[in-house]
Amino acid sequence: MESVSCVNVPQVAAAICPYIHYVHARSKQKGASALLSLTRSMIKQEVPLRQIVVNDRVDVALLTSAGAVQLPANGLSVVDAKSLLSEGTRCGVSVHSLEEVQTAEQAGADYVLFGHVYETHCKAGLVPRGIAQLESICRLSDIPVIALGGIQPHHVPELYHAGASGIAVMSGIWEAKSPVAAAMEYRRMVDLVVHDL
């Protein structure tokens, strides 16, 4: 969410949270103080704790009692993170290959975030991993695989049919004219496909 400057992030997070399961608090370039402040603002705006996923910083998750931590590829291991967090705090791992999925799974990750599946300007110039790789990873993984990267609402059916357990969206919601309308549209597509699976 660090690229989003024109919207009030905590307020938007509160407005969209009825339509999504989790919201990630990220502030990669700005340091732990900004991340903590963003997370606390979300809580103040009544985003439920169980829906908040703190990126990378286990210390910030501990300070806020956030429901989950998203561990980047160069972040703490799941085992180390879980040794600090209270029981029940979920740990997701960002992965880019089958090997990383298996490592995360063996370490006790609750889910993995795999991407980027489609082209996205967040990863400009990088070849997307595509639906076929997503499919093979979902087939071989015992934990939920959340698809990420360039996802538009019309992609939802093929992602779920490929085995994804969920989708993660950044620009599709945060750069939308109406983030709430966008979140509702993604959710409508997910509910439709989940109903049909």
Q: Which is nearer to a second copy, 16 or 85 (CB)?
A: 85
Among 5, 6, 74, 154, which residue sits at the site for a second copy (rule: CB under 8 A)? 74
- Nearest distance from C-beta of residue 98 to a second copy, angstroms: 20
Q: Point out which span in 18-26, 33-41, 118-126, 152-160 binds a second copy (CB under 8 A).
A: 33-41
Of 65, 70, 66, nearest to 52 by C-alpha is 66
- Nearest distance from C-beta of residue 40 to a second copy, angstroms: 10
Of 178, 99, 181, nearest to 141 by C-alpha is 99
- Nearest distance from C-beta of residue 88 to a second copy, angstroms: 18
- Nearest distance from C-beta of residue 33 to a second copy, angstroms: 5
Among 23, 47, 60, 101, which residue sits at the site for a second copy (rule: CB under 8 A)? 60
Q: What is the DSSP string of 32-94?
A: HHHHHHHHHHHHHTT--GGGEEEES-HHHHHHHT-SEEEE-TTS--HHHHHHHSPTT-EEEEE
Using rule CB under 8 A, residue 107 touches a second copy: no
Using rule CB under 8 A, residue 75 touches a second copy: yes
Tell me, yes or no, if 116 is annotated catalytic: yes
Q: Which is nearer to a second copy, 64 or 120 (CB)?
A: 64
CA distance 136 to 132: 6
CA distance 104 to 67: 19
Contact present, 147 and 116 (Cβ < 8 Å) = no
Q: Which is nearer to a second copy, 80 or 110 (CB)?
A: 80
Using rule CB under 8 A, residue 185 touches a second copy: no
CA distance 69 to 61: 7
